Structure formats: structure tokens, C-alpha cells
Amino acid sequence: MDSELITVTIDGKEVKVIPGTTVLEAARTAGIHIPTLCHHDDLCSEALYQQTASTPHQGEHSHQHEESAMLSTPSSCRICLVEVEGLPKLHASCALPIHNAMTVRTTSTAIRHARRDILELMMSEHYGDCFACARNGTCELQKLCADYGVTSERFGRPHEPLFEKAEIGNIIVRDQNKCILCRRCVRMCALYQGVYALTTEGRGDHSRIATFMGKEMKDATCINCGQCINRCPTGALTERDDTDAVWHAIEDPDKMVVIQTAPAPRAAIGEMFGCEPGTPLTFQMNTALKRVGFDKVFDTNFSADLTILEEGSELISRLYKALVLKDNTAALPQFTSCSPGWIKFIEHFYPKYLPNLSSAKSPQQMMGAVLKTYFAEKNGWDPSKIVSVSLMPCTAKKFEAARPEMDASGYRDVDYALTTRELGRMFKQAGIELPKLDKTPFDDPFGTPTGSGVIFGATGGVMEAALRTVFEIVTGEKVESVFDHADIKPVRGFDGVRMAELTISKVGPVPEILSHLVPDFEWLKGATLRVGLAHGTVNAIRVMKDIEEGGPLSQCHFIEFMACPGGCLGGGGQPIPTDREIRAARAKAIYSEDATYVVRKSHENEDVLRIYREFFKEGPCSHKSHELLHTHYKERV
Amino acid sequence: MDPKAVHGFVGNKLSFSEVTPRDGIRMAAEMAPEDVVAIIGASGLRGRGGAGFPTGKKWEFARGQEGSPKYIICNADEGEPGTFKDRLILTDFPELVFAGMAIAGRAVGAEFGILYLRAEYGWLREHLDAALERCRVANTLGNNILGASDFSFDISIRMGSGAYVCGEETALLESLEGRRGDARNRIPFPVQAGYLGKPTVVNNVETLAWVPCIMVKGPSWFAAMGTRKAPGAWLFCVSGDCKRPGIYEYPFGTSLRQILSDVGAENAKAVQVGGASGTCVPPAQFDRTMTPGDLATGGSIIVFGPGQDMFAVAENFQHFFCDESCGQCIPCRLGNQRMLEAIGRMRKDGLTVDGERNVRQLAQTMTVASKCGLGQMSARAFLSILNNFSGELPGHV
Amino acid sequence: MDAQQTLRTEVEQLVRVHGRTRTALMPILQDLNRAHSYISEDAMLAVSDALNVPRAEVYGVATFYSYFSVKPRGTYVIRICRTISCAKQGDYHPAIAALFDELGIGMGETTSDGMFTIEQTNCIGMCDQGPAMMVNEIPHIKLTEASVRSILNEYRHAALAAKKAQ
Ligand SMILES: Cc1cc2nc3c(=O)[nH]c(=O)nc-3n(C[C@H](O)[C@H](O)[C@H](O)COP(=O)(O)O)c2cc1C
Ligand code: SF4
Ligand code: SF4
Ligand code: SF4
Ligand code: SF4
Ligand code: FES
């Protein structure tokens, strides 16, 4: 790369930049804010480069065609216009790379007028009231209208909706009346998720965002990951709002309303209450949930640890079948199954590999299943009166909860899956100032906080938790003997695809709990366990391609897939905005929480050991656990 | 279909009929590429697609690029309302255009040419394929053209599918690459990263047709036709309310009045120069000349007779842009819709002071803020009509 | 072979002609559009699979260009120029009226026998000889009320003859 720096003058300030830096980026380094709408920090070239860096298939993209058009900013909203000395017209700073010294002005009467016109043009086809909008307060369009004093309606406003809002049956709800056609959703879906569920349809005055054949989202190849929602600057994309139904259940005296909370929302919900990203509010949230009226508050960490035991045991027994018994129905590598976006993704795009998926349900569903069985029995609750709610960072969890097969107990495992954003709204409606609350522990019997469960919220977390457990079970040694503080750093980080190895130099006796699965561990002695990780389904595509081509990932034994960039902490149901820096801050919160807990390994979670003693007495992957804790998948077109 | 069936009227003798394309290619084949660039540069030839960029400069720029392969693209998307010269050139002089492409290839070091033909000219396809075949047989296309060991060039034809914006060169490239015709960011330029990311020269049909003429007759012959500042001649497409619509060749510097008298439109009430993206000229300005700097033109001259309602004309143009905008950027997609509505309102109710201020401000924003030339020029016609014919609006005193 | 299989075979044949790259997308859609007067959902799915271009992208492209349609149209698609040089000719409105009258349909509609669809289009480069229209790929110029009726009759006869020949 040309390393000579170029000096540009922006609003009188001199900045030195690497050639190719955009004027927008240069202005930021000079502390000058230029408004943007079609640009998003996650969708700028640098972020996209990082997103795909250090993968086995560097430079190659999800689908066969090159994606240059998608990769470059569309510079279509034109709100980031600036003046460049010596050039006529105004120029979109997000698409203006610096190759020569230039003098730029980011504010002038002409610029302000143009920006205000652009905003008023957007409003001229915008139907909707801010007070009734899920994005009131986080809407970028609303904010800019306020900043630029858009008070008149010079170009008119529609008096009735121009489009119908399709809510029923859809988890991703689109309201095109609020869409400004910035295409962030289209690019996010394509470039991070590789799904390409969305496109621009039509031309000119007929342009709009649409799915293939203009189908509703529920009938499209959408995986419900919600990444599009999280990038949408307006209220044009939202998740189905289940808060009314949950309020209703809470207020029904006949119902026992139980909520489980996943790790990722705790590290993020504070952002909705003015906290810095990365402020964990786990126990304050428990207080708030009780205040709101939930009868029990459980920790999804419990079922995360349960998942590790089921999935880890499944891995051990698969390896045994494949490597020792030479049973070729035992598909390797085993794929994790806790990300419902990833599940729908593989069902749509790689159905051939469904046998590789772990049959273990996700922690959300496992918790739901034991709630209405084990817990109900133990406490004498009528399972038909339990309303099982979950707090998830994820919109796809709504889809998972609604899968018809998720009712092995005779009842829905989970009745309502709320996103972080929905719960934040419920708190606000209840007048709760979350950061100011006291701390309350989780309820028994699913309330032991464990580090292994918490890290499920970050990419690599499931793998780390699984490795801590599998290593100790197989070797009988402490994982700390290999990794300081049991921090398995090689699987952490944000690279799109990662791989790690762990050599099993000695083996121990098979613990009682697994004796029904393998006779001994001798066959694992000296073996090297190879694992892989991918987050953001576009990286999942890279992994799948590598596997198809017999590359290094095909040699892995276990691969963790997370549909969302950064894993659950970057989930589509998390507070808006979410971007690289915010994801990093949330990850930090998650790993520091892990470090503070006494129990940091799933197999040491006393609640989990108890349920195997009392309920799943035949151990993991046994008949009863299969019935309640495991599931199956289907091909989708 | 025989293209002659819709040939149309040609008002005067065209320079193109005086040149044998093969001679141009032979000269280029015998010359060093940089000398070809120099000749075109010296002639002062400017692009005929609308932007008027000096062709020699474009080629020089492309020649200096490192990427390979390089591409020569002939822009035959001719969609500007009132423009049909490329239709005639492709009907009567296809070999001249192909020769121009081959010479461009020679000049910049490209071996592949693509002719992007608008869907509406699909009926020319067979005729052009046959002409291409003739060129290959005559070895003015293909390998080792006319025996030159370092000169190979061939052309394929690709079709548009009905989109005016695909005449804009970056939208054209998107279309060729199998995508929606959304205009690209202008940096990098197509000569740096064009078709499939490779250095690409996009030239208009007429631009390319002049190339072999200049090679054969020399740059000074070409330059001598126009004025010192604007060398050369141009094909004008005349339509609308006149006695003899058709194609006319004029040197730069010709006055509008002269043209109107030649075509039989002395009583014109207004003339739209440059198509929907151009400007509307009132009689008081008929002495203006066809020169870059004065009346820049894409070759389109649409005459409006005394009976025409000029704001109905403006409405027609604005409707055109609403349809034909690629739709990606806000000032163009929504600006044109709001402008169209505003014209409808002023035709009905006249123009208030506030209303006029709003449309002028909107026009300004469309012009300075749109992403590509389509949006940037889409308010021009209306503004010039507003400036010169506001007396036609109801309630005007 | 069911309809979908036939389409897939057809697309494979087109892939052999135009290639299996993204740049083949437009030519393939053009051929399908010409052969069927529109590009059906199944056709787009077949193209998407054959070229490995996401189906939504195929749809985005198919809806951008005015010559393409994703909804069924008549065998003959009539595109009448609505741009200035044609629209301001004296014969323009009578010619359109004749079109509507003769076919008994309005703008954007298809005759019940599936023979004709009328659409509007922008300048087709026949401005010196307007009013003008295209019927599929063929331009018709200097339209008048009478010429429109006789042009339509010619297409009707052509269609009839083609049917008989079958
Ligand atoms: C909206 C729009 C439409 C255009 N249409 C055409 C066209 O139909 N034919 C053409 O040659 N150039 C067209 N151009 C200009 C091209 O972008 C490009 O400048 C030209 O093809 C370059 O060739 P030249 O240098 O030979 O003129 C259009 C530009 C714009 C902004
Ligand atoms: S999308 Fe934004 S501007 Fe529109 S109603 Fe919602 S908050 Fe208001
Ligand atoms: S939810 Fe995910 S898969 Fe669905 S459209 Fe949005 S980004 Fe694409
Ligand atoms: S739905 Fe949202 S993200 Fe997508 S184009 Fe519309 S405003 Fe932009
Ligand atoms: S100016 Fe119009 S045609 Fe050009 S990019 Fe913008 S919307 Fe598209
Ligand atoms: S205006 Fe109708 S063909 Fe040009």
C-alpha cells in the first residue's frame, strides 16, 4: 500500500490520512461529525474487510459472483454531502476517497439546505407517527429531522399509508411506509449474513425493498436473524412485538409467568437506559423482572450448561462411533445447534449437512422443556398454567419457540421469546430505572450463575464452555493445567472464522454419568481435538465451502456456528445501535463476568448435576433426555 | 426486419459517407498506439454521449492504466428523448463504429469490445451481427488485424432491457455485469475500474464513428470544421413541430436559427436542446450557437410550435425522469416525483411566491445533490421553461 | 416432464450459450423474457440455481428493466412511446384510442385471449417518425388511427397462421 500520507483540510482543520480514506472517515478523525443514513459503521469497507479477514477463503465470497456492487457504499441517501474546493456540485463524503490534497467544507448554507431538502423529501413519502413507533428515540431519521429543523412539510406528507404493514405470522415485521430505501438491510443481509433475502425491487418511483417475488418475510428465505432490523435507521423494520401478550399473562392471576434470561441481553440492556455499552446489569434486571411481575426469574446459564453436557456427550459418542466403531452415520464435524438463525440457515442452504447438527435443543428450549416437566413436578405446579417467557438477544428465538416440534412435554417449551429491546420497553412502561435498582439473585433451582453459561453470549463461548467440560471429563485433569485461569483464548476474538486445536495427552476413567455412551477413553489418548468457529452466516458459508472442498475445516471435530456477527451479544434483538465497538464492549463485559464466577464449568454446575440425579437419571443423551432435550431438523426451500 | 424501413430523413451530406472504415484501421495498425492517441487528442474530438469529455484524454488515461484485460465499450443505449443519430449511424455506418472501437482498442491496449445496444434497437441486432461477420471476414476485426501481429480486437454485442439510466456509463457497466442499472460511485472512474473491475473506455456510437474519419482525413480536417474552441461537426437529431425532421450534420458554432430555418421550423415557439436533460430555448435566444459553453447538446433538437403548452411539456419530461431514475438516491427518486406533482399543481392553480421558491430550491438540491447525471440534470428542462414561459401559467399577470 | 423441469432444461440450454457467470444473467433473462413474454417465478428460481445468483437478486434485476416482466403478458407486447416528440404529435391520441378500441383493453392490460398487452414506454428513438410504437422487437412508425388498426390485424393474421401451421 502507498504509505505516503495525504494532508486534507476539513473545515479549516488539517488531517493526515492514508490514501483511499474517505472524506467521511477523515472528518471523523478530525472530530467532525457528518450525518449519514445509508452508511453504517458495520457496512463501511474497513468493517467488511475485518468481517471476512483471516478465513481459509480469503477474498472469496459467499456466492459465486463477486459482490463489488454490494460492497461499496451506495451513497444513496446523499445526506453526507460536502463541498470540495474546485469541484462543482456537492459530494457524498462516504463515497469520496482521498487521493490528492483537498480542501473540504462540511457545513455551509448550500449543504444545510440540501440536507434539509433531502430529509423533507424522505418525509414526503413517510407515513407514521413517531409517538407510536418502536424506534421513537432511536430513529436516525427522526434525530436528523430534529437536528436540521425539519418543521415544515414543504413537499407534503402522505395522509394515509402507501403500503400495507404485514404483521400477522411474520417475526420480522416490515413497514414500508417508514422505509427510506437506504439499503442497509439489503447489504447487511447479503454481506454479513450471506442470506440475500432482501433486494431492491422495481425502478424509479416504483423502487422499494422486497423479498423474492415480493413475498412476506415468513415465506422468504429469511433466517429471522434480525440483523437487518438492527441496522435499519428507521422504524421500517421491527420484530414482532410480544410485549402485550406477556403483560396479559402477567396480569392473569391464573398464570404462573416464568422468565429465563440469556447472558447477552444483560450485557446490553443498560444501553437503553443511558449506560455505556458493556455495563452488565444482570442482577438489577432480576429486581426489575420481579417488579414487573414475573413469578420466577431463572438463569438461562443453567440450560446452557445442560446443553454443554448434552452436546458434549453427543460429541464424545459421535467421535466414538465414527472413529472406533467406524459407523458412517455419525456425521463429523458436529455442528452446534443453539443459534436458531444458523439452524434455519442450514435448513435452507445446506440441508445435506443436517445430520452434522447436534440434536441438542438450544438452551432456551431446554429450559422451557424442564420448566414444564421437572420443575412443575417438583413444585406441584400445573404445567398448563405456566407461561414460559424468555429474554433473548435474538429475533430468531421467536421462530425457534414457535417451531411445532418444540412441545415434547405436551406443552410449548417456550411461549414467548422477548428481545432485549422489547424487555427494555416493558421496563420503561413500568417506570423502572434499571441502573438504579438493587441486585436480586436468580431463583432456585435454576439460578446458579456460571461463567460457562455466561460466555455463550459471545462468539466462541459455546466452544470454550464445551472444551472446558470435554477436556476435564476425558482427561480427568483441570483445564487450568493447559490454559491459565481456564481461559481458552484461542477460541476468543472476532475473526470471522477461527480454528483451534487441543491435544489430549492423557485420558482418565469414564465418569459414571457417561458410562452408557463409551466404555473407556483410551481411543482418545494422544488425539488432537480440532475445533472451528464462525459467526455471521456469511462466515458459515465460508466454513461450509471449505468443508465441501475438503479443506482444513472438514478435519474439525466440532464447529460452533453463530448466525449473528459477534455471536449473541451482536444479536438482532439487541439494543440499537449495534456496531463493532459496541460488540467489543459487550464481549468484554461478558468475559469479565465469567472471570468473577466461582463455577465456570458446566459439569460443575450443581443445578445441572442435580437434574441428572433427580430427573434425567440415565444421563445425557439417554432416552428421556432425547425426548425432552433433543430435536430434529428439516429441509426448507 | 430491414432497418431501411425506418431509416428516416437525412437532411444533408454526412462526413461519414466519405470514409472507408478499413483505411482508418490500416492507418492505426501501422502506427504506434501512442500516436493514435495523439491524433485523436489533436483533433479535439469530444464525446458525443452528452458529457463532452475529450476523447483523446480519456484514451490516454486508459492507456496509462495497469490492469488487464482492458475493455472498449460502445454505448449504444441512446435513450435521450429526441435522439436517434446512433440508430442512423448503426444502420448506415456500422463498420465505421466497429473500426472506431478497434482503433480505440489499438490505442489503449484492449482486445475486447462490447457494444451495448438498447433493447428498443433489438431490430438492428441481425444487421449488426452481419456487419460484424463481414468485418471478421475482411480481417478488420479478429486476430492480427490487417496483418499486424500486435493488433487483435473483437466485438460482441450485448443488449439492454429497457432502462434510460443504463446509458449512464456506470449504470451500463452494472447492467453488463448482470445487475440492476444503479449508477455507481464516480470514483474510481470506469477507465480505472470499469467492466469487471478492469480499465474500461466507454464511448458513444457517434464518437467512435468519427474516429476512423479522423484517422483517414487527419485531425486538422476535423478541427477545421468547427470553431477554434469547439472543433468538429456533430449529428443533430431534429424532431417535433417542423417540416423536415431528421438527421443533419452541422459544424460546431452553427446557430440555432440556422438549423430551424433548414428544418422548416421558423415559427417555433421554443426549442428543447439536449433532450429531456437539456434546456428549453425561447425565440429570443435562437441566435445562440451549438457550442459547448453555449448550447451544449447531446444532439437532440425538439421543436415546439406555437400551439404547445410548455408546462405540459415540462410535465412530460418530469414524468420521464420519475420512470427512468434508477431510484437509488433520494434527490432524484423523490425530487422528481415531488417536482412532477408541483408542475401539475402549478398548471392547475398557477404559481405562488412560496411555491416558486420551493420548486427552485428543490431543483437546486436535485442538481447539486443527486448521485449521477440523470438526477443532476433532471430539473434543467423545467427550470428553463419556468424561466422563459411562466407567462403560460394560470393567474399569471 | 413437468413444467418446472422443462424450464430447468431450457435454462441449462441457455447457460450453454451464455455461460454460467453473473454476466450471463441479463442475456439469459432476455431470452426467457422473449420466449415466454415474461419471466416466471419458476424461471427465476431455475436461473438462480443455474448461475448461483441469489433468487432475490435475480428478482431485483428482473424488476428493474422495463422490458422484463415477472407477470404474464400477451404474446405481443405493444409498447407505445409516451415521450415528448411522439406525445405531442396530432395523431398520437387518436392512435392510442384506436389501440384501446381495437383490443378492448386499457394501458397495462392484456387481452383475454392472451394475444396482446399494451404498455407505455419512453422514447424508442423514432422521434423523427412518430408517433411510434414497438410490437415485441419491431418498431412501427408514423402511427395513425387507421395504421394502428391494420397493424393489429397483421399480427392477428400472423398469429392465426402460426397456429394453423402447428
Ligand atoms: C442519464 C444519462 C444517460 C446517458 N445516456 C447516454 C446514451 O444513451 N448514450 C451515450 O453514449 N451516452 C450516454 N450518457 C453519457 C455516458 O455516461 C458517457 O458519458 C458516454 O457514454 C461517454 O461517451 P463519450 O465520451 O463518447 O460521450 C448518459 C449519461 C447520463 C447521465
Ligand atoms: S421511523 Fe422514525 S421518523 Fe418515522 S415514525 Fe418512526 S421514529 Fe418517527
Ligand atoms: S432477518 Fe436476517 S435473514 Fe432475514 S432479512 Fe433480516 S438480515 Fe436477512
Ligand atoms: S427497511 Fe430500513 S434499512 Fe432497509 S432500506 Fe428501508 S430504511 Fe433502510
Ligand atoms: S441521480 Fe437518479 S438515476 Fe442517478 S443514481 Fe440517483 S436515483 Fe439513480
Ligand atoms: S419521442 Fe417517441 S420515439 Fe422518441
Going by C-alpha positions, the residue among B216, B274, B228, B254 that lies closest to residue B44 is B228
Domain spanning A307-361+459-636: CATH 3.10.20.30: no
Q: How many Cβ atoms from other residues are within 10 Å of residue A385's Cβ?
A: 14
d(CA B53, CA A374): 78
A558 sits in which H/E element: strand A558-562
Q: A51 pLDDT band (50/70/90 cuts)?
A: low
Percent with pLDDT over 70 in chain B: 99
CA atoms within 13 A on the CB side of B247: 24
* Domains, in order of start, for chain B: 12-218 (3.40.50.11540), 233-304 (3.10.20.600), 310-392 (1.20.1440.230)
- The alpha-carbon gap from A119 to the nearest alpha carbon of chain C, in Å, equals 25
How far does residue A419's CA lie from ligand 5's centre (Å)?
Answer: 38
What does the pLDDT look like over B343-388, one tens digit per residue? 999 999 999 999 999 999 999 999 999 999 999 999 999 999 999 9
Query: Per-residue confidence at A67, pLDDT binned at 50, 70, 90?
Result: low
Kindly tell me if the per-residue pLDDT of A60 is higher than 80: no
Over residues A193-247, the pLDDT tens digits come to 999 999 999 999 999 999 999 999 999 999 999 999 999 999 999 999 999 999 9
Mean pLDDT of A390-411: 96
pLDDT at A45: 77
Q: Strands C116-121 and C138-140, how do they pair?
A: unpaired
Residue A72 exposed, middle or buried by CB count within 10 Å (0-12, 13-18, 19+): middle
- How far apart are alpha carbons B57 and A231 in whole angstroms? 42
Give the DSSP letter string of A1-49. Answer: -----EEEEETTEEEEE-TT-BHHHHHHHTT-----SS--GGGSHHHHH
Residue nearest atom 8 of ligand 5, based on CA coordinates: B326
**Alpha carbon distance, N-terminus to C-terminus of chain A:** 44
**A302 dihedral zone (left: phi>0; alpha: psi -120 to 50; beta):** alpha
Contact criterion met (CB < 8 Å) for C64 and B163: yes
Mean pLDDT (whole number) for B238-245? 97
B386 torsion bin: left (phi>0), alpha (psi -120 to 50), beta (else): alpha
Index of the ligand 6 atom closest to the CA of residue B84? 4
Cite the DSSP H helix spans in chain B: 21-29, 33-43, 55-63, 85-92, 94-108, 125-137, 169-176, 205-217, 219-225, 256-263, 310-324, 330-349, 353-369, 373-377, 380-389
pLDDT at A55 exceeding the cut of 70: no
Query: C70 at the A interface (CB within 8 A)?
Result: yes
**Cell numbers describing residue C151:** 397493424
- pLDDT band (50, 70, 90) for residue C1: low
Active site residue A140: no
Least confident of A2-6, A137-141, B202-206, B314-318: A2-6
| Sequence ranges of the domains in chain A | 2-107, 126-240, 256-302+364-436, 307-361+459-636
Task: Kindly compute the dihedral angle of the four CA atoms of residues A555, A559, A562, A568, in this order, to the nearest 10 degrees.
Answer: -140
Whether A155 contacts chain B with CB within 8 A: yes
CA C48, CA C51: separation in Å to the nearest integer? 6
Select from A209, A217, A239, A576 the residue to mutate for testing ligand 4; criterion: most ligand atoms less than 8 Å from CB. Answer: A209
Structure confidence at residue A167 (pLDDT):
82
Give the atom of ligand 2 at the shortest distance from the alpha carbon of A142.
Answer: 3
Task: Flag whether residue C56 sits within 8 Å of chain A, measured between CB atoms.
Answer: yes
Could you tell me the fold of the domain covering A2-107?
Ubiquitin-like (UB roll) (3.10.20)
Q: Does A110 touch chain B (CB under 8 A)?
A: yes
Indicate whether A56 pLDDT > 60.
no
Q: Is the dihedral of CA B217, B218, B219, B221 positive or negative?
A: negative
Within 10 angstroms of residue A115's Cβ, the number of other Cβ atoms is 25
Q: Rounded CA gap, B171 and C31, in Å?
A: 21
**Reported ipTM:** 0.97
Residue of A nearest to C21 (CA): A65
State the pLDDT at residue A201.
97
Task: Give the closest-approach CA distance of B323 to chain A in angstroms.
Answer: 5
Residue A42 has pLDDT above 80, yes or no: yes
Identify the H or E element spanning A389: strand A386-392
Counting beta carbons within 10 angstroms of the beta carbon of residue B266, is it exposed (0 to 12), middle (13 to 18) or buried (19 or more)?
exposed
Distance from residue C62's CA to the centre of ligand 4 (Å) = 21
CB-ligand 6 contact for C80 (6 Å cutoff): no
- Residue A101, pLDDT > 90, answer yes
A358 has catalytic annotation: yes
Cell numbers given for A437: 435498582
Q: Over the stretch A442-493, which tens digit does the pLDDT of each residue have?
A: 998 999 889 999 999 999 999 999 999 999 999 999 999 999 999 999 999 9
CB contact under 8 A, A69 and B179: yes
> How many Å apart are CA B190 and CA B199, to the nearest integer?
6
Q: What is the CA A242 to chain-centroid distance, rounded?
A: 19
Question: Which chains border B (3 or more CB–CB pairs < 8 Å)?
Answer: A, C
Provide the pLDDT for residue B294: 87
pLDDT confidence of residue C20 = 96
Is residue C115 within 8 Å of C122, Cβ to Cβ? Answer: no
Is A307-361+459-636 in the same CATH topology as A126-240? no
Q: What is the pLDDT of residue C5?
A: 93
Q: Is the pLDDT reported for residue B90 higher than 50?
A: yes
- pLDDT, averaged across chain A: 93
Closest to B157 (Cα-Cα) out of B235, B94, B232: B94
A126-240 fold: Alpha-Beta Plaits (3.30.70)
Instruction: State the pLDDT confidence band at B397, using cuts at 50, 70 and 90.
Output: low
**Atom 17 in ligand 1: residue holding the nearest Cα:** B168
A232 in active site: no
Fold designation for A256-302+364-436 = Rossmann fold (3.40.50)
List the single residue in C with minimal CA-CA distance to B176.
Answer: C23
Average pLDDT, chain C: 96
Residue in chain C nearest B236 by alpha carbon: C128
**Which pLDDT belongs to residue A69?**
67
C57 pLDDT higher than 50: yes
A204 vs C: CB within 8 A: no
**Within 13 Å and on the Cβ side, how many CA atoms surround C120?**
16
